C-alpha cells in the first residue's frame, strides 16, 4: 500500500514526476532501444510473439498513442511497471515513455489555441445511473469540475517541492529511486548526488540507526566502488554494516550483503586476506538465513573463488566456482546468465593454469548460454569473445584471436556508450595481440585509443590507466624508444602508488619486474634502470597472494665498464633491500632467479 502524506498527496505520484524527468534526459539510439525492448519481451510470459514482431516491423508506422491505446500488451506492461515501480520495465520502456510524452506535448501545443477559457471536466463511473446535473444526456456522470485554464497555467512548482516539507521521508525515497535510475544508466555522479541528498534527509527525519540509513550508505558505497574510489566505498559500506549490527538480528541477510560489499572493495584493493574474511563471514550468515541452494550462496562461493583465483590458489578457486555452479544449476533455469558466469570464471582459472583446451571449453560453454539468454549485442557476449580471443593469443593463434577480439569490440560499440571502460578494454586486448605479433604501430594505436577512452570514463588515478601506460611503455621499449618507455612506466607507477595500497601485489610486481628486466636482459634496459628510482621499501610480504612466475636469465655479452658500475650499484642495492625482497617472494620462482643472478655477479666480478 502506498503511504499518504499529511496533506493527502500521493508520494508515488511525486516520484513518477521525478522519474519522468530523468527518463526524458536520456539520449539514446531508438533502434537499439526498440531491439532491447523486444528481446526483453521475449523473455516474459504471456507476451504475444505476434505483437513483438509487429512492433519490430511497424513501430515507426504508428504514433505512440496508437500503440498505447491499441489491443496490445504495451498498455498493461507500462502501467504495471509504473504501478509497481519496476525499474527494469521502466528503463526498458524508457524510449516509449519519452515518445509518448513528446507526442502528448505536441498534441497539447496544437490544441491549446482552440481551448476555451472555461470548460467542464467529467469523471465518469458507469455504476451510477443517476445524473449529476439536470442534463438528461449526462447519465453516468459522478461529478463535474469547472476549470479555468488561466489558473491552471499559473503554477510551475513541482509537486514534490510544493507539497512536502524539505526533509520529509517520502522525499528521501524519491531521491533514492532517482539515484537508482541514474546508477543503472551509468551516470555515477548524478546517482551519487541523488543518494547523498536522500541520506541528508534521512539523517534529519529518522533515528540515527534506522535500517534505511544503512541502505543509503550501501548505495553510496556502490557508486564509489564502481568509480574506483575504494577508500570512500569502504567507509560507506562499513558505516552501513555498523548500523545494521545495531538495528538487525545477527543473521539477517542484509548483514551478509554488507560483508559481501566490503569484500568486493578489499578484493579490488588487492587486500585478499581481508576480502576472503569478509566473503566467508557473508557466506556463514547466508547459510543460516537462506535455503541451502539459494542463489546468494552461489554468489558468495563465486566471490570466494575470485579471491583464491587472484591469490594463485587455483585448486581452491575451482572448488568454489564448481560449488557455485552446482547451486545455480539447481536454483536457476538451465540457461541462466549466472551459470554462464560460473563457466566463464572456471575458464579464467584454466587459462591462468595454462590449460588452454579446458579454458576454451569453459569459455565456449559460457558463450553458448549467453547467446541463448541475452540479446545479440549484450556486453557480456563481448566479454566471452574477449576471453576466447585471449586463449587464442596465448596459443599463438593470432588471426583467430584478432577475429574474436574484433567481434567483441563490435558488440561493445553497439551496446555501450562511446567512452565506456569496456570499450577501452577491448582496444587494449587487440593491442596486446599486435604487440605479440610484433606489429608495434598497431599495438601502440590500440593502447593509446584505450587510454583516451579511460581518461574520459575513469577517475584520473584509476588502476586501469596505469595498465594502459604500462602497455604503451612496453611498445616503446620494444621499438627502442627508451625515453618514451621510461616516461610511460613512471606514469604507471605514479598512478598505482596513489590508487593502490603499498602492499598491493600489482605494485610490488612492478618494482620487481623493473629490477629483473633491467639486470637480466639487454643494455637498453640498463639505460632505463640507470634513470629509474626504485622505492623498493614499500614492498610488503604478500607471497601467498602472488602467482609464481619464471624469470629467464640470459647470458649477457661482454660487459662494459659503465655497465659494471651499474651492476655494482645494483649489487649494493641488493645488500640493502634484497633480503626484504627474498622474504616477500619466498616460495616464488623468482627467488631462484635472484640467486642465480647473484652467482653470476660473483663469477663476472
For residue 36, being part of any structural domain is answered with yes
What is each CA distance from 457 to 32, 219, 426, in whole angstroms?
A: 22, 20, 14
In whole angstroms, give the CA distance from residue 210 to residue 32.
42
CB atoms within 10 A of CB 74: 19
pLDDT of residue 200: 95
For residue 172, being part of any structural domain is answered with no
User: 147 near 169, Cβ under 8 Å?
Assistant: no
- Per-residue 3-state assignment (H helix, E strand, C coil) for 417-447: CCCCHHHHHHHHHHHHHHHHHCCHHHHHHHH
Distance of CA 347 to the CA centre of its chain: 20
pLDDT of residue 213: 95
What is each CA distance from 158 to 15, 16, 18, in whole angstroms?
A: 11, 11, 9
Q: H or E element: which one contains 95?
A: helix 94-112
pLDDT of residue 237: 97
Angle of helix 589-604 relative to helix 505-520, nearest 10 degrees?
30
In whole angstroms, give the CA distance from residue 460 to residue 473.
18
pLDDT digits (tens, 9 = 90+) for 434-487: 999 999 999 999 999 999 999 988 888 888 899 999 999 999 989 989 889 888
Distance of CA 299 to the CA centre of its chain: 16
Using only C-alpha atoms, what is the Rg of the chain? 30
In whole angstroms, give the CA distance from residue 132 to residue 155.
30
pLDDT of residue 26: 66
Annotate 30-49 with b (16+ C-beta within 10 A) or e (fewer). Answer: eeebbbbbbbbbeeeeebee
pLDDT of residue 220: 96
- Local structure of 118: helix, strand or coil: strand
| Sequence-ordered list of residues with C-beta below 8 angstroms from that of 575, at least 6 positions apart, any chain | none
Beta bridge partners of 143: 123
Phi/psi-derived region of residue 94, left when phi > 0, alpha when psi is between -120 and 50, beta in every other case: alpha
User: 117 near 149, Cβ under 8 Å?
Assistant: yes
Torsion sign across C-alpha atoms 163, 165, 169, 175: positive
Beta bridge partners of 147: 119
In whole angstroms, give the CA distance from residue 514 to residue 261.
34
- Residues 116-122: contacts with CB within 8 Å, 24+ apart? 116/149, 117/148, 117/149, 117/150, 118/146, 118/147, 118/148, 118/149, 119/147, 119/149, 120/144, 120/145, 120/146, 120/147, 121/145, 121/147
What is each CA distance from 30 to 77, 95, 393, in whole angstroms?
A: 19, 7, 36
- pLDDT mean by block of 10 residues, the chain; 605 residues: 41 59 67 84 78 84 80 79 75 84 75 57 39 43 47 47 71 89 84 94 92 95 91 96 94 95 92 94 95 93 94 92 96 90 96 94 96 89 95 94 95 84 91 95 96 88 89 92 88 84 61 50 40 36 32 35 40 40 44 47 45
For residue 92, being part of any structural domain is answered with yes
Annotate 188-198 with b (16+ C-beta within 10 A) or e (fewer). Answer: bebbbbbbebb
Among 251, 239, 345, residue whose Cα is nearest residue 299: 345
For residue 81, being part of any structural domain is answered with yes
Per DSSP bridges, beta strands 141-148 and 118-124 are antiparallel
pLDDT of residue 121: 47
For residue 167, being part of any structural domain is answered with no
What is each CA distance from 464 to 421, 457, 497, in whole angstroms?
A: 9, 11, 13
- Per-residue 3-state assignment (H helix, E strand, C coil) for 353-417: CCCHHHHHHHHHHHHHHHHHHCCCCCHHHHHHHHHHHHHHHHCCCHHHHHHHHHHHHHHHHHHCC
Distance of CA 560 to the CA centre of its chain: 51
Q: Give the total residue count for the chain.
A: 605
Backbone angles phi, psi at 395, to 5 degrees: -90, 5
User: 150 near 169, Cβ under 8 Å?
Assistant: no
Among 471, 434, 468, residue whose Cα is nearest residue 452: 468
What DSSP string runs through 159-200? HHHHHS-TT-HHHHHHHHHHHHHHHHTT-HHHHHHHHHHHHH
CB atoms within 10 A of CB 505: 21
Which range marks the domain in which residue 98 is found?
17-113
Within 228-294, where are the H helices? 230-247, 253-269, 272-289
Q: How many domains does the chain have?
A: 1
In whole angstroms, give the CA distance from residue 545 to residue 602.
32
For residue 384, being part of any structural domain is answered with no
pTM check: above 0.75: no
Helix-then-strand count for the chain, H and E? 30, 2
For residue 152, being part of any structural domain is answered with no
Among 520, 532, 504, residue whose Cα is nearest residue 567: 520
User: 195 near 206, Cβ under 8 Å?
Assistant: no
For residue 419, being part of any structural domain is answered with no
Amino acid at each position: 500500500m502506498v503511504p499518504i502524506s499529511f496533506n493527502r498527496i500521493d508520494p508515488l505520484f511525486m516520484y513518477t514526476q521525478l522519474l519522468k524527468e530523468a527518463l526524458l534526459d536520456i539520449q539514446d539510439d531508438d533502434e537499439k532501444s526498440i531491439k532491447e525492448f523486444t528481446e526483453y519481451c521475449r523473455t516474459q510470459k504471456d507476451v504475444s510473439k505476434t505483437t513483438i514482431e509487429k512492433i519490430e516491423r511497424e513501430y515507426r508506422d504508428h504514433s505512440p498513442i496508437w500503440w498505447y491505446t491499441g489491443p496490445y500488451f504495451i498498455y498493461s506492461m507500462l502501467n504495471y511497471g509504473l504501478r509497481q515501480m519496476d525499474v527494469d520495465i521502466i528503463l526498458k520502456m524508457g524510449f516509449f515513455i519519452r515518445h509518448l510524452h513528446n507526442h502528448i506535448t505536441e498534441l497539447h501545443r496544437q490544441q491549446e489555441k482552440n481551448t476555451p477559457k472555461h470548460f467542464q471536466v467529467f469523471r465518469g463511473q458507469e455504476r451510477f445511473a443517476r445524473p449529476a446535473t439536470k442534463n438528461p444526456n449526462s447519465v453516468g456522470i459522478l461529478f463535474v469540475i469547472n476549470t479555468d485554464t488561466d489558473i491552471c497555467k499559473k503554477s510551475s512548482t513541482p509537486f514534490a517541492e510544493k507539497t512536502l516539507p524539505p526533509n520529509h521521508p517520502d522525499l528521501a525515497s524519491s531521491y533514492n529511486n532517482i539515484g537508482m535510475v541514474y546508477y543503472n544508466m551509468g551516470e555515477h555522479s548524478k546517482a551519487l548526488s541523488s543518494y547523498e541528498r536522500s541520506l541528508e534527509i534521512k539523517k534529519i527525519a529518522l533515528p540515527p540507526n534506522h535500517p534505511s540509513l544503512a541502505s543509503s550508505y550501501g548505495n553510496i558505497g556502490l557508486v564509489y566502488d564502481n568509480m574506483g574510489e575504494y577508500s570512500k566505498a569502504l567507509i560507506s559500506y562499513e558505516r552501513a554494516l555498523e548500523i545494521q549490527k545495531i538495528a538487525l538480528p545477527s543473521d539477517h541477510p542484509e548483514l551478509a550483503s554488507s560483508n559481501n560489499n566490503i569484500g568486493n572493495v578489499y578484493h579490488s584493493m588487492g587486500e585478499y586476506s581481508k576480502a576472503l574474511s569478509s566473503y566467508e563471514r557473508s557466506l556463514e550468515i547466508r547459510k543460516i538465513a537462506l535455503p541451502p541452494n539459494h542463489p546468494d550462496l552461489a554468489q558468495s562461493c563465486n566471490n570466494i573463488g575470485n579471491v583464491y583465483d587472484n591469490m594463485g590458489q587455483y585448486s581452491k578457486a575451482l572448488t568454489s566456482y564448481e560449488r557455485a555452479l552446482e547451486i545455480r544449476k539447481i536454483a536457476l533455469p538451465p540457461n541462466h546468465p549466472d551459470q554462464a558466469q560460473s563457466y566463464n570464471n572456471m575458464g579464467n582459472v584454466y587459462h591462468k593454469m595454462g590449460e588452454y583446451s579446458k579454458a576454451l571449453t569453459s569459455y565456449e560453454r559460457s558463450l553458448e548460454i549467453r547467446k541463448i539468454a541475452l540479446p545479440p549485442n549484450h556486453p557480456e557476449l563481448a566479454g566471452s569473445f574477449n576471453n576466447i580471443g585471449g586463449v587464442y593469443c596465448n596459443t599463438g593463434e593470432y588471426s583467430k584471436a584478432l577475429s574474436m577480439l574484433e567481434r567483441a569490440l563490435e558488440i561493445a560499440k553497439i551496446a555501450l556508450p562511446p567512452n565506456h571502460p569496456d570499450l577501452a578494454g577491448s582496444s587494449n586486448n587487440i593491442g596486446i595481440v599486435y604487440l605479440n605479433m610484433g606489429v608495434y604501430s598497431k599495438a601502440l594505436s590500440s593502447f593509446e585509443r584505450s587510454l583516451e577512452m579511460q581518461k574520459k570514463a575513469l577517475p584520473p588515478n584509476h588502476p586501469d590507466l596505469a595498465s594502459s601506460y604500462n602497455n604503451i611503455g612496453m611498445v616503446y621499449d620494444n621499438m627502442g624508444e627508451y625515453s618514451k618507455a621510461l616516461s610511460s612506466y613512471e606514469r604507471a607507477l605514479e598512478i598505482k602508488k596513489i590508487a593502490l595500497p603499498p602492499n598491493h601485489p600489482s605494485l610490488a610486481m612492478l618494482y620487481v619486474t623493473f629490477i629483473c628486466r633491467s639486470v637480466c636482459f639487454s643494455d637498453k634496459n640498463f639505460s632505463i634502470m640507470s634513470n629509474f628510482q626504485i622505492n623498493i621499501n614499500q614492498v610488503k610480504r604478500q607471497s601467498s597472494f602472488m602467482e609464481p612466475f619464471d624469470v629467464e636469465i640470459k647470458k649477457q655479452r661482454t660487459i662494459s665498464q659503465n655497465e659494471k658500475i651499474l651492476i655494482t650499484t645494483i649489487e649494493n642495492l641488493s645488500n640493502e633491500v634484497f633480503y626484504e625482497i627474498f622474504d616477500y617472494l619466498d616460495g616464488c620462482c623468482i627467488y631462484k632467479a635472484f640467486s642465480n643472478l647473484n652467482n653470476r655477479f660473483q663469477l663476472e666480478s
